[in-house]
Amino acid sequence: MTKITPTDLKDFLDEKYSLYASPRFIETDPIQIPRSFSKKEDIEISGFLTATIAWGQRPQIIGSAKKLMRLMDNSPFEFIVQASVKEIKTLSAFYYRTFNGTDCIAFIKSLQHIYSQNETLESVFEKGFAETQTVKGAISNFRSAFTQLEFPHRSFKHISNPMAGSAAKRLNMYLRWMVRPPKENVDFGLWETIPPSALMLPLDVHSGRVARKLGLLQLKQSSWKAVEQVTSKLRILDPIDPVKYDFALFGLGVFEKF
């Protein structure tokens, strides 16, 4: 495409952000699952579990996440802190693509462990961020805390590791949900210990394709290095809230086939 000036690029992406960052976005997005709860702990748990299975077709993601919430009696926090061994075993029937019952039970047990030591999931991410002042560090600390128990080897692949080069799309998306303020009535702004300026783009096939076409990303592989590259360009456009452009890039890729 014709080379676009930085000013024109910002104007273009601001326009698309305004178009797609609205409650209408929720109608087809997995964020509708945590949006169905009002209690902080329910929001962050349902959001994390939904983000964990957020790959593939969105209708299937949403349907499976709703099923998982039903298995937890639509009270995820209460289930996490009160469920018996027998009740947790009922989750063995859950699966979504390669995330199966073994993985689901491992995740619930790990969440139980985390909440037995912390009031909120935020504090686990916060510790890593405080130590490094980076989301990469926040995710890495969470991953270490999450896998402290005897964790099935097959389940490790569902917890991205940016230290090993993963783009960590789903965890970056989850952090966007929790951290960005609800100014568009989409994200939650529940966590205030990580600033929106530190967030990293949830880089997926759609946003990556658009970012490359717009000259925001040169790397061909969607790695953590690619996430750092594209997010650094977005920070030039908006240093305070760079990841707001996730709406623009994703919308252009999915709805406009840009």
pTM here is: 0.95
Note whether residue 203 is domain-resident.
yes
**CA atoms of 26 and 4, how far apart (whole Å):** 30
pLDDT on residue 3: 67
Could you please report the per-residue DSSP string of 183-213? TTSSS-----SS-GGG------HHHHHHHHH
Tell me the average confidence (pLDDT) per consecutive run of 10 residues in the chain, 258 residues long.
79 96 91 96 97 94 97 96 93 94 95 92 96 97 91 88 96 98 95 97 96 95 97 97 97 90
**CA atoms of 15 and 147, how far apart (whole Å):** 41
Q: How far is CA 179 from the centre of its chain?
A: 10
**Dihedral Cα 131, 118, 53, 58, nearest 10 deg:** -90
Secondary structure class of 223 (helix, strand, coil): strand
Tokens of 4: 């676009």
pLDDT on residue 150: 83
Secondary structure class of 50 (helix, strand, coil): helix
Note whether residue 1 is domain-resident.
no
Note whether residue 62 is domain-resident.
yes
pLDDT on residue 151: 82
On whether the CB atoms of residues 154 and 103 are closer than 8 A, the answer is yes
* Sequence letter at residue 34: P
pLDDT on residue 238: 97
On whether the CB atoms of residues 207 and 253 are closer than 8 A, the answer is yes
The domain tally of the chain equals 1
Could you please report the per-residue DSSP string of 56-76? S-HHHHHHHHHHHHHHTTT-H
Host domain of residue 30? 6-254
pLDDT on residue 88: 94
pLDDT on residue 189: 96
On whether the CB atoms of residues 58 and 29 are closer than 8 A, the answer is yes
